[in-house]
Structure 1
């Protein structure tokens, strides 16, 4: 497992004319070279012998493993003039905007909570972290506790957050722990990875599932779409999944720009179509037969729209022949609509296998090529056909 570390933030960012970060600063790290008290001019000094604002020398730095934290240790406000306080607030708002624009991670102390979220200290400012922006690690660690109980237990601790809104005019300073967790843990993910996970919320369109990392905590959340829950026809996701269920999931897509993970449960199970074709319909049956494995209860009929698709495929450059090879019936209905996809099996000579099904009926279709068209080329041709066919 990768361990991410970051340098500590020193100084106070009290006067932002001296605050700068490199354009190459890592999105995963905190500011590494902020100004120290000695960098600041003395024109605003009122109380110290070397003409330096008192609160600058009082700022305290603390460092924790894996992230850097900066805390204000309770400076005597009576040492400030109104101008000092205003200058500091203005500078800290500018710092907040810089953290937002650079995507930097800040170690924020939790000052308290209310009905909607946590109150986070950011230098002299106090911002807000809505409960939905908390990392799932807290609720998954103690699922029996309410969000209010979790918030109370977290008060006084320091968590890694990102600034997601810094609006000085409207006094809105909003944080997200989820975004900070994404920066730290998403680089460890790749498509095809398999995770133990816990179901969070269940919606009509799918279930949000929390991924458990090697440290035993649930840091990131992905979506299992209703179509990826089961090979069976799913009318209501709630009939299959409930909050708190432990499941295994496979990552099928990662949208790093939108911080989204797409997951699948059914892809870790055997596709009943392949089970049907490989076990119910013998592999050694002649591929020249168009009617195989018919039973007394079911009559094989052309799958709806398949004839039109085959005709259109034959018009594509590089495709010489398209023919149904095996047909049969599945043990259960997966979808009443026609479904098509290319088999992952390697081609046989110059032939690729296309799978099709609707209702309980399934078949394989052999696509013969005249050129060196590869699997991606066939997928592109199939996509173009499907766009033409109503």
Structure 2
């Protein structure tokens, strides 16, 4: 009926949620009653709540058990001429549950797929069900060097993850496992290097050498207004490689009067840099950013 197609367009434009009964299944998804029309709910548009109940069961088998059930869906595509009506339970779940997801929240989740660029994790809510999915990018898996996500995460594994981004326009949640722990090199260097000198290298190949490019960085720091002195101090080695590139950080060590501590690292090597300055912490951060933009 024409009025039902108008209703479908109204639901699509308004974003309202419709509760429809599952009346059939096929190889691509489920068939839901929408007034007098039959809507199509593709398997990829199902909420993760179903697959998480029985993670080892094929989605087609799960769909059979859903016959006769009522699902909350959104209308995402309408074409009366071709009689196409496409529905999404996933988008309805986003509308219902995304308001309970905020920056910094920590969730228990289940890894539902592992890709070269990261892992998708289904998030468990207080009702015990998995309503939304987030992505842990490869860079957020571990402070260790991650070359293959599959070495760290496997499908079906339960993990704790922190919400680091919520895009409410694109309906995307970004997660991190590594941010549940402090970056070891943003802590004070005392945990890496003894107060009385440098830590001993593990092998002859680890003999401490000046970090490449560090001398240029020191020269550039001294060009910044408000920085009076920049000199290297203690050196040591981390247990893990985070990046082979030279990185520069402002240490979490409490600043003394007109003095800040920077940490430079490349590979496993760590170098402490002591600054004498009239700048405050925010000014130091901006100075570091300007220096890094100038140094190739």
- Report the TM-score range of the alignment, normalised by the length of the smaller protein: 0.7 to 0.9
Q: 1:224 to 1:190 in 2, by over 3 A?
A: same
List structure 1 runs of 4+ shifted beyond 6 angstroms: none
Which string of whole-angstrom CA distances, capped at 9 and with x for unpartnered residues, describes residues 153-202 of structure 1?
11211111112222334433222211111111111122221111110100
Deviation at 1:249, TM superposition (A): 0.9
Match of 2:64 in 1: 152
Superposition map of 1:308-347 within 5 A: 308-347=216-255
Number of aligned positions between the proteins: 294
The one of 92, 104, 119 aligned to 2:4: 92
Higher strand residue share? 2
Secondary structure of 2:210's match?
A: coil
Equivalent-residue separation in structure 2 for 1:279 and 1:345 (angstroms): 11
Match of 1:161 in 2: 73
Equivalent-residue separation in structure 1 for 2:91 and 2:25 (angstroms): 20
Match of 2:166 in 1: 254
Q: 1:99 to 1:339 in 2, by over 3 A?
A: farther
Q: Is the 8 A contact 1:272 1:331 kept in 2?
A: no
Equivalent-residue separation in structure 1 for 2:253 and 2:82 (angstroms): 59
Match of 1:307 in 2: 215
Q: Is the 8 A contact 1:294 1:300 kept in 2?
A: no
Superposition map of 1:81-160 within 5 A: 89-160=1-72
> Please, which moves more after superposition, 242-251 or 92-101?
92-101
Equivalent-residue separation in structure 2 for 1:326 and 1:227 (angstroms): 28
> Aligned-pair RMSD on alpha carbons?
2.5
Which string of whole-angstrom CA distances, capped at 9 and with x for unpartnered residues, describes residues 256-306 of structure 1?
221111111122235444679332412x44xxxxx8335473322232333
Structure number with higher relative contact order (C-alpha < 8 Å, ≥ 6 residues apart): 2
> Please, which moves more after superposition, 163-172 or 247-256?
163-172
The gaps in structure 1 that reach 5 residues or longer are 1-88, 286-290
Q: TM-score, normalised by structure 1?
A: 0.68
Secondary structure of 1:232's match?
A: coil
Equivalent-residue separation in structure 2 for 1:132 and 1:345 (angstroms): 48
Deviation at 1:386, TM superposition (A): 3.0
Larger radius of gyration between Structure 1 and Structure 2: 1
Q: Is the 8 A contact 1:276 1:328 kept in 2?
A: no
Equivalent-residue separation in structure 1 for 2:5 and 2:239 (angstroms): 63
